[in-house]
Amino acid sequence: MSDMYKEILVKRKTSAANQLAKAGVIALTAVGLVGGIVFMFIPFLVIGIAGGVACYFLVPKLDVEYEYLYVNGDLDIDAIYSRQKRKKVAEYTSAELELLAPENSHALDSYKNKKDMKVRDFTSGEPQKKNYIMVMNKDKGQELVKVELDEAIVNDLRRMAPRKVNLM
Protein backbone atom coordinates (compact mmCIF):
# COMPACT_ATOMS: atom_id res chain seq x y z
CA MET A 1 0.00 0.00 0.00
CA SER A 2 1.44 3.35 -0.94
CA ASP A 3 1.18 6.35 1.36
CA MET A 4 0.50 9.80 0.03
CA TYR A 5 1.15 13.16 1.65
CA LYS A 6 0.42 16.42 -0.15
CA GLU A 7 0.02 20.07 0.82
CA ILE A 8 -1.69 22.66 -1.36
CA LEU A 9 -1.87 26.39 -0.62
CA VAL A 10 -4.80 28.28 -2.18
CA LYS A 11 -4.96 32.07 -1.87
CA ARG A 12 -8.49 33.42 -1.88
CA LYS A 13 -9.02 36.28 -4.31
CA THR A 14 -9.91 39.49 -2.48
CA SER A 15 -13.29 40.66 -3.71
CA ALA A 16 -14.19 44.27 -4.39
CA ALA A 17 -16.63 44.22 -1.46
CA ASN A 18 -13.86 43.10 0.91
CA GLN A 19 -11.51 45.80 -0.35
CA LEU A 20 -14.25 48.41 0.06
CA ALA A 21 -15.01 47.20 3.59
CA LYS A 22 -11.33 47.33 4.51
CA ALA A 23 -10.94 50.87 3.14
CA GLY A 24 -14.15 52.01 4.81
CA VAL A 25 -13.16 50.74 8.26
CA ILE A 26 -9.70 52.26 8.00
CA ALA A 27 -11.12 55.62 6.81
CA LEU A 28 -13.69 55.63 9.61
CA THR A 29 -10.94 55.02 12.15
CA ALA A 30 -8.72 57.77 10.75
CA VAL A 31 -11.51 60.35 10.53
CA GLY A 32 -12.75 59.51 14.02
CA LEU A 33 -9.34 59.72 15.66
CA VAL A 34 -8.26 62.88 13.83
CA GLY A 35 -11.63 64.53 14.52
CA GLY A 36 -11.48 63.53 18.16
CA ILE A 37 -7.96 64.85 18.66
CA VAL A 38 -8.24 68.04 16.60
CA PHE A 39 -11.73 69.15 17.66
CA MET A 40 -11.60 67.62 21.17
CA PHE A 41 -15.02 66.12 20.49
CA ILE A 42 -15.57 62.89 22.46
CA PRO A 43 -18.04 61.19 20.03
CA PHE A 44 -15.42 61.40 17.24
CA LEU A 45 -12.88 59.82 19.55
CA VAL A 46 -15.31 57.01 20.46
CA ILE A 47 -15.98 56.39 16.76
CA GLY A 48 -12.23 56.30 16.09
CA ILE A 49 -11.60 53.81 18.89
CA ALA A 50 -14.52 51.62 17.77
CA GLY A 51 -13.13 51.74 14.21
CA GLY A 52 -9.69 50.74 15.51
CA VAL A 53 -11.18 47.72 17.30
CA ALA A 54 -13.06 46.82 14.10
CA CYS A 55 -9.78 47.13 12.15
CA TYR A 56 -8.05 44.82 14.59
CA PHE A 57 -10.67 42.08 14.27
CA LEU A 58 -12.10 42.57 10.76
CA VAL A 59 -9.22 43.51 8.45
CA PRO A 60 -7.13 40.34 9.04
CA LYS A 61 -10.16 38.13 8.27
CA LEU A 62 -10.46 39.65 4.79
CA ASP A 63 -7.11 38.25 3.56
CA VAL A 64 -7.47 34.46 3.56
CA GLU A 65 -5.40 31.55 2.29
CA TYR A 66 -6.50 27.93 2.55
CA GLU A 67 -4.04 25.12 3.14
CA TYR A 68 -5.12 21.62 2.18
CA LEU A 69 -3.27 18.81 3.88
CA TYR A 70 -3.99 15.44 2.27
CA VAL A 71 -2.74 12.27 3.94
CA ASN A 72 -3.95 8.85 2.77
CA GLY A 73 -7.55 9.80 2.08
CA ASP A 74 -7.92 12.36 4.87
CA LEU A 75 -8.20 16.03 3.94
CA ASP A 76 -7.61 18.72 6.57
CA ILE A 77 -8.30 22.32 5.62
CA ASP A 78 -6.80 25.25 7.51
CA ALA A 79 -7.54 28.94 6.98
CA ILE A 80 -4.57 31.31 7.27
CA TYR A 81 -5.60 34.90 7.96
CA SER A 82 -3.21 37.67 6.83
CA ARG A 83 -0.34 35.15 6.77
CA GLN A 84 -0.25 35.29 10.56
CA LYS A 85 -3.05 33.34 12.18
CA ARG A 86 -3.98 29.75 11.38
CA LYS A 87 -7.30 28.10 12.15
CA LYS A 88 -8.47 24.56 11.33
CA VAL A 89 -11.76 24.93 9.48
CA ALA A 90 -12.57 21.41 8.30
CA GLU A 91 -11.56 17.75 8.45
CA TYR A 92 -12.79 15.16 5.98
CA THR A 93 -12.06 11.45 5.60
CA SER A 94 -12.49 9.16 2.62
CA ALA A 95 -15.08 7.19 4.62
CA GLU A 96 -17.32 10.30 4.70
CA LEU A 97 -16.95 10.89 0.95
CA GLU A 98 -20.07 10.17 -1.06
CA LEU A 99 -19.07 11.77 -4.36
CA LEU A 100 -16.17 13.74 -5.81
CA ALA A 101 -16.70 15.39 -9.19
CA PRO A 102 -15.66 18.49 -11.13
CA GLU A 103 -17.78 21.56 -10.40
CA ASN A 104 -19.72 21.43 -13.68
CA SER A 105 -20.36 17.66 -13.63
CA HIS A 106 -23.88 16.31 -14.15
CA ALA A 107 -23.27 13.77 -11.40
CA LEU A 108 -23.81 16.64 -8.92
CA ASP A 109 -27.19 17.76 -10.31
CA SER A 110 -29.22 15.87 -7.71
CA TYR A 111 -27.20 17.38 -4.86
CA LYS A 112 -27.15 21.03 -5.96
CA ASN A 113 -30.91 21.52 -5.54
CA LYS A 114 -31.17 20.26 -1.97
CA LYS A 115 -31.94 23.14 0.37
CA ASP A 116 -30.82 21.54 3.64
CA MET A 117 -27.24 20.89 2.49
CA LYS A 118 -24.47 23.04 3.89
CA VAL A 119 -22.22 24.51 1.16
CA ARG A 120 -18.62 25.34 2.05
CA ASP A 121 -16.25 27.07 -0.36
CA PHE A 122 -12.50 26.68 0.15
CA THR A 123 -11.42 27.83 -3.32
CA SER A 124 -9.57 30.86 -4.61
CA GLY A 125 -12.68 32.22 -6.34
CA GLU A 126 -10.89 32.50 -9.67
CA PRO A 127 -13.03 31.21 -12.57
CA GLN A 128 -10.13 29.76 -14.61
CA LYS A 129 -9.09 27.34 -11.83
CA LYS A 130 -10.45 23.79 -11.88
CA ASN A 131 -12.69 23.24 -8.86
CA TYR A 132 -13.99 19.97 -7.50
CA ILE A 133 -17.04 19.44 -5.33
CA MET A 134 -17.02 16.80 -2.64
CA VAL A 135 -20.31 15.56 -1.24
CA MET A 136 -19.55 14.57 2.34
CA ASN A 137 -21.73 12.65 4.80
CA LYS A 138 -21.15 14.32 8.16
CA ASP A 139 -22.90 13.78 11.49
CA LYS A 140 -25.12 16.82 10.99
CA GLY A 141 -26.07 15.92 7.41
CA GLN A 142 -24.53 16.24 3.99
CA GLU A 143 -22.15 19.01 2.95
CA LEU A 144 -21.11 20.26 -0.47
CA VAL A 145 -17.44 21.22 -0.24
CA LYS A 146 -15.78 23.19 -3.07
CA VAL A 147 -12.01 22.66 -3.25
CA GLU A 148 -9.14 23.08 -5.73
CA LEU A 149 -7.47 19.69 -5.74
CA ASP A 150 -4.64 18.64 -8.01
CA GLU A 151 -4.64 15.54 -10.17
CA ALA A 152 -2.46 13.52 -7.77
CA ILE A 153 -5.01 13.80 -4.94
CA VAL A 154 -7.95 13.07 -7.24
CA ASN A 155 -6.17 10.00 -8.63
CA ASP A 156 -5.35 8.77 -5.12
CA LEU A 157 -8.98 9.17 -4.03
CA ARG A 158 -10.04 7.37 -7.18
CA ARG A 159 -7.65 4.54 -6.33
CA MET A 160 -9.09 4.28 -2.81
CA ALA A 161 -12.79 4.67 -3.73
CA PRO A 162 -13.32 4.30 -7.48
CA ARG A 163 -17.13 4.39 -7.34
CA LYS A 164 -17.17 7.64 -5.40
CA VAL A 165 -15.00 9.62 -7.83
CA ASN A 166 -16.61 10.82 -11.04
CA LEU A 167 -14.32 12.71 -13.41
CA MET A 168 -16.92 13.54 -16.07
- The pLDDT of 13-32, averaged and rounded, is 86
pTM over 0.85: no
Tens of pLDDT, residue by residue over 87-114, are: 999 999 989 999 999 988 888 888 877 8
Which segments within 14-138 are labelled E, that is strand? Answer: 64-71, 74-81, 85-92, 97-102, 118-121, 132-138
